[in-house]
């Protein structure tokens, strides 16, 4: 398996523009997570899905952020409109499920977002 | 408030040395704990996962221990190598849902040849 695949690797955009980040989880994994990493705040969970259904989106900063998972092999995180304070590395991760080793998280390589 | 602390923030050691990375937490009612490795510009790689009922887990030169009563976990790296240079993060799972992972900010390890 190729692992968790994220695109793009880098995104540079101007304030006010729409940004869409993409993620393909590992096949067979029932859970998908979106995290954001900054120097100041470390890793923060934004939202996670179980079997394509959003379970907890309490970490989404505000209404400018939205996430979808239309099928088991694809998820998007959208920011509209983007602001400079959204600049961070956004990670997607997936896991098999609940219980013991199934909870091991597999991360993608991340998307480095810079909003100018 | 559930807090995870990793001290020191950075550590430099000569190659071959055995070392211990620390992770402390305020709430001991954890479900499990994971240690991750992050290389520059890369995602996180899970190294070891310890269930709350376990005391330790081992993988190769790595050994992770868990002491809930003292609110502490350690990652022991034996015979360190330059390839071990990375940032190591611990993450605590509170409750039966993966969504409750709380991450420390990590310890940046540098192993000098």
pLDDT digits (tens, 9 = 90+) for A29-87: 999 999 999 988 889 999 999 999 999 898 898 899 999 999 999 999 999 999 999 99
| Dist. CA A97–CA A104, nearest whole Å | 9
Beta strands in chain A (DSSP E): 5-7, 10-13, 19-24, 31-38, 42-50, 53-56, 65-71, 74-79, 88-95, 106-107, 111-115
| Dist. CA B27–CA A23, nearest whole Å | 33
Flag whether residue B40 sits within 8 Å of chain A, measured between CB atoms.
no
Write down the pLDDT at residue B2.
Answer: 77
Residue B13 pLDDT level (bands cut at 50, 70, 90) = very high
Sign of the C-alpha dihedral computed for residues A77, A5, A39 and A34 taken in this order: positive
Average pLDDT of the residues in B37-52: 91
Write down the pLDDT at residue A36.
Answer: 96
Write down the pLDDT at residue B29.
Answer: 85
Question: pLDDT higher for B2 or A14?
Answer: A14
Residues written for chain A: 116
Q: Is the confidence at residue B98, as pLDDT, over 60?
A: no
| Dist. CA B49–CA A72, nearest whole Å | 25
Write down the pLDDT at residue B93.
Answer: 86
| Dist. CA B9–CA A94, nearest whole Å | 27
The structure tokens 């694809």 sit at A74
Average pLDDT of the residues in B32-53: 92
Cis before residue A80, ω within 30 degrees of 0? no
Write down the pLDDT at residue A61.
Answer: 87
Write down the pLDDT at residue A52.
Answer: 95
> Do residue B46 and residue A106 have CB atoms under 8 angstroms apart?
yes
Tokens describing residue A12: 């540079």
Tokens describing residue B21: 């990375």
Chain B interface test: which of A25, A32, A49, A107 (most B C-beta within 10 Å): A107
Residues written for chain B: 113
Q: What number of CA atoms fall less than 13 Å from residue B69's CA on the CB side?
A: 2
In angstroms, the separation between the Cα of residue B47 and the nearest Cα of chain A is: 9
Residue B96 pLDDT level (bands cut at 50, 70, 90) = low
Q: Is the confidence at residue A107, as pLDDT, over 80?
A: yes
Q: Is the confidence at residue B100, as pLDDT, over 70?
A: no
| Dist. CA A25–CA B33, nearest whole Å | 22
Flag whether residue B39 sits within 8 Å of chain A, measured between CB atoms.
no
Q: Is the confidence at residue B99, as pLDDT, over 80?
A: no
Write down the pLDDT at residue B55.
Answer: 93
Q: Which of B43, B49, B91 comes nearest A101 by C-beta?
A: B49
Write down the pLDDT at residue B97.
Answer: 56
Write down the pLDDT at residue A20.
Answer: 98
């Amino acid at each position: 398996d190729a692992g968790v695949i994220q695109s793009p690797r880098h995104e540079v955009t101007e304030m006010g523009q729409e940004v869409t980040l993409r993620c393909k989880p590992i096949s067979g994994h029932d859970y998908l997570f979106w995290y954001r990493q900054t120097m100041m705040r470390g890793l923060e969970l934004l939202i996670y899905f179980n079997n394509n259904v959003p379970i907890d989106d309490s970490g989404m900063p505000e209404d400018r952020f939205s996430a979808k998972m239309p099928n088991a092999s694809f998820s998007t995180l959208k920011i509209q409109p983007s602001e400079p304070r959204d600049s961070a590395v956004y990670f997607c991760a997936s896991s098999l499920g609940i219980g013991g080793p199934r909870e091991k998280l597999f991360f993608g390589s991340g998307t480095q977002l810079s909003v100018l | 408030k559930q807090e995870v602390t990793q001290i020191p923030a950075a550590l430099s050691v000569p190659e071959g040395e055995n070392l211990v990375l620390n992770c402390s937490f305020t709430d001991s009612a954890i479900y499990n704990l994971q240690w991750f490795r992050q290389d520059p510009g890369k995602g996180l790689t899970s190294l070891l996962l310890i269930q709350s009922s376990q005391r330790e887990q081992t993988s190769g030169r790595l050994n992770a221990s868990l002491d809930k009563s003292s609110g502490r976990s350690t990652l022991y790296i034996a015979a360190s190598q330059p390839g071990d240079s990375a940032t190591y993060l611990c993450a605590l799972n509170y409750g039966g849902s993966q969504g409750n992972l709380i991450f420390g900010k990590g310890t940046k390890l540098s192993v000098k040849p």
